[in-house]
Structure 1
Amino acid sequence: MKSTLLKLFFFFLFTSQIQAQELLPFVENYSKSDFQGDNQVWNVAQGKDNAMYFANNHYLLRYDGVMWEKYTLPNKTIIRSILIEDDKIYSGSYKEFGYWYRKDGKMHYVSITKNLRLFAEKDNEEIWKIFRFNGSLYFQSFNDVFIYNGKTIQKIKFSSLISYCFPVDKNLYVASVKDGIFKMNGKKIANPKGWGILKNTVVHAIEKYKDETYIFTQKKGVFVVQNNGLKPWDNPLNETLKSTTINVARFIKGNKLVIGTGNKGVFILDLKSNLFKNIDRNNVLMNNSILSIGFDKEDDLWLGLDNGIAHIEVNSPISIFYDNTGILGSVYSVANTKDGYLIASNHGIFEFGTGKFKMMPNTQGQGWNITKIGDKFIIGHNDGTFSYDNGSLTKISTVSGGWNLSKSTINNTYFQSTYSGILVYDDLSDLSKYKTIKGLTKPIKYVAQNKKNEIWAADNYRGLYHVLLDDNYNTKKVENVTQQSKIKNDFGIKIFEFRKEILFLINNSWYTYNSISNKLEKNELFNANFKNVSDVVAIDEDHFMVLQNGILYHIYASGNKFVWNIIQEKYYKGKLINENLRIFKNQNHYLLNLDDGFISLQLKYINKQHKTLRVEAFSEGTLVTDNSKIKFNKELKVNVISGIYGASKPNLFYKLNKSKDFVPISDGVILLNNLSSGYHSVVIYKHDGASYEKVADFDFKVAQPWYFSLWMILLYLIGIAGILFFYYKWNKLRYTQKLKLQAEELKHQREILEMELKTENELNIQEYEKHILELELQTKSSEVAGKSLSIAKQSEMIDNIQNILNTEKDFSKLKSEIKKAIKINEVNKHEWEIFETNLNQIHNEFIINLTKKFPNLTPKDIKLCVYLKMNLSSKEIAPMMNISFRGVELHRYRLRKKLDLTQDENLSKFLLSL
């Protein structure tokens, strides 16, 4: 009970608040951030070059469908009006009028009034309108009109303030704010009879349609001219227009009237049905104040707004249902009813009629699919399945998630794919009765049948199933044919019925089932014609739609040939609901669901893409002509201009230097960077989805890098010559220095040689002196030895004397002899000191080494060592040390201990080894 009350609350809330948007022409809005200009757009016209031109306050704007350009007058004044004739764009400004022409990719201005005194100093003249009448150009301000015949200018001054002049056939009407409408004949002006109602009224347009003249006033509505005066326009829209402030009005192709207002946007009236569409800020327009109206060669509408520009495709076969409120949500399915539309969205089921829509009770939540069976509409919903008939909604099934409903091609049975399997409706008189296919209780997205007792089912996630049934739809067998066919990537399979044949779209490839091999096989016809297709939706037996690389194509099948018809991406960019494209056919139209509404498109519409293109290339802001040259390492911007702004705009691709891949041209611009030097070619193709057709090309050359230019090569040559010259000079200098170094080296070598000779001489002298010293040393050694022998002999003599003493008896004689002998052989003390000194000099090195190794040796020990090194015997040593033989032996024994010698070691050999 609580849930039901809550649902009813939401139902009444939605129906009271929602105001539906009706089907409207597609509108492209351009804000100031797009064209980088000012606010008001006073005039709109299309040039002979197919570019659109706008009088935008201080700027003349130019838009060719690819690039916006803006230009200012030399005096920086506001541009109020433009008129285009041939290659000239005439403009009117404050005390100034002239024309623009295009050259080298830029607009250039020529003043007609320069140096002419046409305007009085006190006049505050602005040229608000330019028109041609009777072969002359008229430049009109609020006070005067200037007639220019190409050579001279005639000025006509009005007696009172006027709004605009209106040429109609051979008549020229002047609208005075105070005094009404005047008809101008030369310089004479007069009020037409019966037009007094227009006094104190601002007239903004006088237009002729089917031999009738219509006058559009600012606040009094529309009047029609009759023989005896004026009568109010007999149309229900007229009362609405009286409160809207009419700013501009035009009759256009297709029996339509366009009226731009100051506060309610634009009204587009179908004069046959008297039905109108109001496009304003409440639906899709940026601004409600319309200042100007223009047309392109496709007869589509351009609006100059108080803040921005709008392009409205009034003659496009495509209409859009906008939901700017977001209350409707994403539309998953839509169908035509007698009174309007039935819409299934993620918010619920909505009914549209008489300009409003309401949510059907108890349908909040996800709606999936709407299928028409007879006079009834079957609606698949998250909560089950509903039947809609003449405004009445009945729930026929509680099985949740009715994704799709498909009709068998062999009888009138319908199969519904749901979250939990497949339902069968085989009694159309009572749709509340249905059967369930057993053995396949999983989410099924698509179902199809073209043979009795078998159906095909595609899992919502992955897998394709072949289900065999008996006559009562009882399951006999379920086969996973993608597993049997060893297809690994079988996610998101689409089932497509084409002329009673069932095809399967699996991972962008087309398959059919071979009943003999019980496996899937690739379909040659569809794989050859529809490569890289990610989605497919059937319309009828001969029409279907494919999604290829993000672009929708309407396909018409004629035999085994397919006619492709592109649907421009701008109509649905970012608005397609992936994996849930659905189409509802209604006579010669079909409806396609979008994120924020839906599209209505004519079924027989053929997009005849124009082949004529213009290529403008720019580098560093300068126009680059065909077969010309650009600087190295500079960006080249190639603008591919079709001059088409509406539904027939071509789908373009390009190839650079005969590359294999076709590259899509985004927004009409090809940006080329990092190009190598040399010749390059850009070939542009029109693509209809089935084939590529060459429509234009552009050739250019990239110059050598600056470091390979003629001047740089000359500089290189000069540099190389300079380097060679300096190299020569340097080599010469180095050779001179080398000679100098060689001379210095020779001198140095000579000095070294002299020094070596000198050193050698000195060495020789030293060797000689050493030799002398050695001789002296030998001499001294001999002297030492001699002294030693002499001493030994003296000692021996003394011993003899001693013996004599011991043997001689005569004392006196003995005494005398002994004294005599002692005196004769007495050793001189001085000679002994010389002996010891010479001995030390000879054995100086030996003494030093001995002292270092054995520092505890006494001088006597050292002296004994020297005598022993001289290989003297103890007997010879005793007298030299003035001790007895026994004393020498005892000293030797003590010395051995000090030298740490063992008994086996020879003392003399040890000393000789030191």
Structure 2
Amino acid sequence: MLSFKKTIIFIIYLYIGVAVAQVKNIGLPKLINYKKTEYGGGSQNWDIGQDKNGNLYFANTSGLLQFNGTSWSKSTIPNATVRSLKISEDGKIYLGGYSEFGYFETNKNGKLVYTSLSKLVGPNSKKIIDFVWKTHIVNGEVFFQTFYRTYIYKDGKISVLEAPNRFQFSFVVNNTLYFQDIEDGLLEYRNGKLVKLPGTEIFNNTEVWGLLPFQKNKLLVVTQDKGLYIYDNGTLKPWLCEADAFVKKNNSLGGRILMDKFIVLNSVLNGIIICDEEGKIIQHINNQKGLQNNTALNSFVDKTNNLWLGLDNGICFVNENSPFTYLESSYGLGAVYASAIYDGNLYVGTNQGVFSHDWKKSFKEESFTFLEGTAGQAWNMQVIDGQLFCSHNRGLFTINSGKAGKFLDDKRGYLSLKPLPGKPGFLIGSNYHGFAIFEKTPSGWQFRNQIEGFNISDSKFCTDGTNVWLRKDVAYRLKLSADLRRFNTVNTYDSLDGKLKGITSVQQINGVVYFQSNNRFFTYNALNDNFIEDKKLSAYFKGLPMIRYCFEDNKGNIGYFYNESSMGMLMRNANGGYKNVLSSFAPLSGNLVYFFESVNTIDTDDIFIGITEGLVHYNPQLQNTHPPKPKAFIRSFTYANDTLVTGNMARVKDIDILYKFNNVKFTFSSPIYDNPENIRFTYKLEGFDEDWSTRTNVPVKEYTNLREGSYRMLVKVVDSYGVMSDPTAISFDVSPPYYRHPVAYLLYVGVIAFGVYFVRRRLQAKIRKSKYYETLEQRRLYLERETKIKQEQYELEKEIERLKNEQLRVKILTKDKELVNNSLQVVKKNKLLNGIIHKLKDIDAEVTDEAAKLRFGKLQKTIVKELTTDKSWNNLEKHIRNVHFDFLKRLKDKYPTITPREMDLSTYLLMNMSTKEIAEIMNISDGGVELARYRLRKKLDLPRKENLTGFLMNI
């Protein structure tokens, strides 16, 4: 009983192992070829390795190539060419080239830096000759193998292992190192010595290019041209199988174990093959099947069980770990619109016609066979009532015994065909002019009639017996007459309920016609002529993308299509429910034949899907073989004219960036190699972006003019299956500019404080100075006012004095005038008295009376005495001279030749006396005055036009 349980468990595990790790024998895996113009290196690629981050490395003739899934880079060594490489646990990449070996490791900036170990070889040692063909790491020792010796590096020292004769190549199997010697056969390296493997001398005349683990502790020996051998504990025997014949015919260059149970064999002439443990070839990939070069120098299995080929010209990725394989142009197929299994053949309807392939034969080599008479567009292929029908643009025909039969109707092109429910022996077909009826007769199926009353059709029509449904902008309900010759009524519907406008698709699921809009499904209620929602079915599509159309396959699975060319499936489970499978079909997005999508479910392991370039085989049992979650890397971080290759670094410390270098650039990568065109990145710079970016296939992002602060760059990747990675982050700080640095702010505070203090002191000083100057100003103003007052007082005093002088002068002038008048009166009086004297003399002569004469004589004496004693004139002249002393002095000083008489005249003129008055005073005539004036003008040298009196007043 226990043994039986163990057997059951073993079978279950075996089945699971087959399901999750299997090389498919139908079709070819997807190939991605990389040309040397893409990776920027030489044509030949001799060895391949992968580091912990998933980056791939290639030993190329022009150096070491690195591929991160997004971009390529190249690092060189002395003598350029690289022949072999191995990556150690600590991330060092050991490699060998022409007369050179050493290792690459990342520096502090994440860039690969080369260290040569060949320089450690002692000067007494033999010179390194030729290429280092193989590099191995075993038990902490690194082996660099050339044809004549192997250099062993450990603990910083080099030791030399000499070849017994001449090494060919070396191999590591189960952590044991083996060599081939051209005379001693296979050798095992044990404790620093070479031990012969008995019975392997047969290989002395050939080259062993591969040594692989095989079954229970056996070795599979792959020779270049002698075939395959199995070595088992000292026994060597040929492995006669299909793969052995391939090796002998095409010359092998070694191989690789794939998924622990499949064998990859490289060839010189015909690409690669993948065989099982019995030597049966499962896949053959060569130039005709899409491989860019038929010489595979090396093969490598990456961490996701996908295959990489180093070719004589280029690199190829083989997507083995995928539920999809492809039968495309290499099998002779074009765009596929339909497929069907019938009579042991797989039939495929294409845009070129119908092709077939024996379902029981291998698909690895044989192309499909074209069926004669089917040239043209094959729209649909259906097995109905045990007969295969082909809907063709030339009509409808059947296929029997691998040949196309006669057209049942060759007057119209047909799109699809369906049985009529409740009408056995009748089929309804949609053609270019509407619909037609076919009837089964004793001689076979025959065209019966074209249905009248409606001339529009669609390949996705449905029928429930009495009604034919199809959608063209609106949904049509066509009611068939009892004799199936016309549509009695035609009804149209443009909505499914009051709120849900438009009808997206009409499809038949589990025998029921469903109408769909916005992922909600309805059935038709003939009683009330309305639609009722099937909420259970709608619930399965809730949360899915908005579909265009869906269908039910023969296993009860519901396939659906969305966007322009994407699909998913609701896989039916045992309890009648559905499991949504969406991401698995992502690699097909964009490749389906739009509107004429074809999905043919044969069994649980075989589903065929038509694409624009051929046919895809899908195994649902392998749908979970892709990695559960991809990894995203910030490949590089560029700033300050420097780049950190962060994708090569285990951990990136926080980075400080000067403000003047606040433009940064990031590149992203992800080691996703199966569908690189479908991967998308989304990123977010915390501290700058509020939300995650939209998904993009551009692996570069640049930020400019970042402000100072702390930032954290996050990036996630979405693979071709729609699985999103966890975010990867790099933190960095942008230092503020010197004028916004904290020290600067402290300085600013200090400066401001000092400024406030300084300004305060200055203000205080200014206030004191202002008060001082204000005091001085007030004092000055006071003194000015005092001086002004004194000046005004002085001026006033002067004015008073002037007024007094003026008053005095006026008074003097008045006195002078009075004096002159008095003088004139005196002159007049004297003249009068002289006249009286003359008259008395005349009277005295005439009077005879002596007494009278005596009296007149006394009177005359009295008058004469008065005239004689009168001194008023002399006093007058003296007074005038005293009053005008200053004037006369200035006049005399200025004109020394002036006479006293002229000075008197000047005084009289200054006194503004008239000519008559002057004449009387000077006792001269008026003419004498004028003559004196004339002479005075000449003495003063005055022009004729200048006023004499005014001139005298200005002296």
CA distance in 2, matches of 1:36, 1:176: 36
Residues 318 and 483 of structure 1: is their aligned pair in 2 closer, same or farther, counting only changes over 3 Å? Answer: closer
Q: Please state how far the C-alpha of 1:203 moved relative to its aligned partner.
A: 1.1
Q: 2:274 aligns with which of 265, 268, 272?
A: 268
CA distance in 2, matches of 1:310, 1:365: 35
1:103-118 aligned at under 5 Å gives the runs 104-117=109-122
**1:362 maps onto 2:373 in alignment:** yes
Q: Please state how far the C-alpha of 1:109 moved relative to its aligned partner.
A: 3.3
**1:405 maps onto 2:417 in alignment:** yes
Q: Please state how far the C-alpha of 1:122 moved relative to its aligned partner.
A: 4.3
| Residues 144, 157 of structure 1: 8 Å contact kept | yes
| Residues 653, 684 of structure 1: 8 Å contact kept | yes
Deviations along 1:15-74, one digit per CA (max 9) or x if unpaired, are xxxxxx97111111111222212211111122222222211123222222223222223x
Residues 505 and 34 of structure 1: is their aligned pair in 2 closer, same or farther, counting only changes over 3 Å? Answer: farther
Equivalence for 2:300: 294
CA distance in 2, matches of 1:619, 1:137: 33
Deviations along 1:84-141, one digit per CA (max 9) or x if unpaired, are 2213222223343333334544323344444442785644143211224455332211
**1:586 maps onto 2:617 in alignment:** no
Equivalence for 1:637: 666
Question: 3-state SS of the aligned residue for 1:243?
Answer: helix
Q: 2:644 aligns with which of 622, 644, 648?
A: 622
Q: 1:150 aligns with which of 152, 155, 180?
A: 155
**1:577 maps onto 2:593 in alignment:** yes
CA distance in 2, matches of 1:497, 1:586: 19
Residues 704 and 154 of structure 1: is their aligned pair in 2 closer, same or farther, counting only changes over 3 Å? Answer: closer
**1:386 maps onto 2:397 in alignment:** yes
CA distance in 2, matches of 1:386, 1:48: 58
Equivalence for 1:86: 89
1:47-62 aligned at under 5 Å gives the runs 47-62=51-66
Q: Please state how far the C-alpha of 1:550 moved relative to its aligned partner.
A: 4.9
Question: 3-state SS of the aligned residue for 2:221?
Answer: strand
| Residues 371, 402 of structure 2: 8 Å contact kept | no
| Residues 164, 181 of structure 2: 8 Å contact kept | no
| Residues 57, 79 of structure 1: 8 Å contact kept | yes
Question: 3-state SS of the aligned residue for 2:37?
Answer: helix
Question: 3-state SS of the aligned residue for 1:33?
Answer: helix
1:454-603 aligned at under 5 Å gives the runs 454-459=467-472, 462-470=473-481, 472-473=483-484, 475-482=487-494, 494-504=505-515, 510=520, 512-515=522-525, 518=529, 525=539, 528-539=542-553, 540-548=555-563, 550-556=565-571, 562-567=579-584, 569=586, 571-572=587-588, 575-587=591-603, 588-603=605-620
CA distance in 2, matches of 1:680, 1:134: 41
Equivalence for 2:867: none
1:346-357 aligned at under 5 Å gives the runs 346-353=351-358, 355-357=366-368
Question: 3-state SS of the aligned residue for 1:124?
Answer: coil
Paired amino acid for 1:54: F
Paired amino acid for 2:543: N
Question: 3-state SS of the aligned residue for 1:238?
Answer: helix
CA distance in 1, matches of 2:193, 2:631: 49
Deviations along 1:165-201, one digit per CA (max 9) or x if unpaired, are 2344586542234554345555665654443432221
Q: Please state how far the C-alpha of 1:659 moved relative to its aligned partner.
A: 6.5
| Residues 134, 146 of structure 2: 8 Å contact kept | yes
CA distance in 2, matches of 1:486, 1:170: 73
| Residues 22, 322 of structure 1: 8 Å contact kept | no
Q: Please state how far the C-alpha of 1:270 moved relative to its aligned partner.
A: 2.9
CA distance in 1, matches of 2:345, 2:260: 24
Residues 331 and 78 of structure 1: is their aligned pair in 2 closer, same or farther, counting only changes over 3 Å? Answer: same
CA distance in 2, matches of 1:526, 1:347: 38
Residues 640 and 553 of structure 1: is their aligned pair in 2 closer, same or farther, counting only changes over 3 Å? Answer: farther
CA distance in 2, matches of 1:244, 1:276: 17
Q: 1:420 aligns with which of 426, 433, 445?
A: 433
Q: Please state how far the C-alpha of 1:351 moved relative to its aligned partner.
A: 1.9
| Residues 552, 566 of structure 1: 8 Å contact kept | no
Q: 1:316 aligns with which of 322, 325, 329?
A: 322
CA distance in 2, matches of 1:599, 1:673: 43
Deviations along 1:677-710, one digit per CA (max 9) or x if unpaired, are 4657646475899x98773254757858979865
Q: 1:232 aligns with which of 204, 229, 238?
A: 238
| Residues 349, 379 of structure 2: 8 Å contact kept | yes
- Structure 1: which 5+ residue stretches go unaligned? 1-20, 725-914
CA distance in 2, matches of 1:191, 1:84: 28
CA distance in 2, matches of 1:547, 1:319: 22
Q: Please state how far the C-alpha of 1:547 moved relative to its aligned partner.
A: 3.2
Residues 596 and 626 of structure 1: is their aligned pair in 2 closer, same or farther, counting only changes over 3 Å? Answer: farther
Q: Please state how far the C-alpha of 1:384 moved relative to its aligned partner.
A: 1.0
| Residues 617, 636 of structure 1: 8 Å contact kept | no
Structure showing greater radius of gyration is 2
CA distance in 2, matches of 1:704, 1:513: 66
CA distance in 1, matches of 2:369, 2:215: 41
CA distance in 2, matches of 1:603, 1:63: 31
Q: Number of residues paired by the alignment?
A: 693
1:162-181 aligned at under 5 Å gives the runs 162-168=167-173, 172-177=177-182, 180-181=185-186
| Residues 95, 119 of structure 1: 8 Å contact kept | no
Q: Please state how far the C-alpha of 1:247 moved relative to its aligned partner.
A: 0.7
Q: Please state how far the C-alpha of 1:272 moved relative to its aligned partner.
A: 5.1
Give the root-mean-square deviation of aligned CA atoms.
Answer: 4.3
**1:305 maps onto 2:308 in alignment:** no
Equivalence for 2:682: 654
Identity rate, percent? 21
Residues 115 and 695 of structure 1: is their aligned pair in 2 closer, same or farther, counting only changes over 3 Å? Answer: closer
**1:671 maps onto 2:686 in alignment:** no
Residues 662 and 566 of structure 1: is their aligned pair in 2 closer, same or farther, counting only changes over 3 Å? Answer: farther
Paired amino acid for 1:421: G
Residues 227 and 681 of structure 1: is their aligned pair in 2 closer, same or farther, counting only changes over 3 Å? Answer: closer
Paired amino acid for 1:663: T
* TM-score of the two chains, using structure 2 as the length reference: 0.64
Structure 1 stretch 693-702 or stretch 158-167: which is displaced more? 693-702
CA distance in 2, matches of 1:274, 1:709: 74
CA distance in 2, matches of 1:520, 1:564: 29
CA distance in 2, matches of 1:241, 1:694: 42
* TM-score of the two chains, using structure 1 as the length reference: 0.67
**1:396 maps onto 2:398 in alignment:** no
Equivalence for 1:28: 32
Residues 182 and 692 of structure 1: is their aligned pair in 2 closer, same or farther, counting only changes over 3 Å? Answer: closer
Residues 196 and 695 of structure 1: is their aligned pair in 2 closer, same or farther, counting only changes over 3 Å? Answer: closer
| Residues 569, 582 of structure 2: 8 Å contact kept | yes
Paired amino acid for 1:479: N
CA distance in 2, matches of 1:53, 1:410: 66
Q: Please state how far the C-alpha of 1:457 moved relative to its aligned partner.
A: 1.4
Deviations along 1:892-913, one digit per CA (max 9) or x if unpaired, are xxxxxxxxxxxxxxxxxxxxxx
Deviations along 1:258-280, one digit per CA (max 9) or x if unpaired, are 11111211111133582332211
Question: 3-state SS of the aligned residue for 2:390?
Answer: strand
Paired amino acid for 1:332: Y
Equivalence for 1:872: none
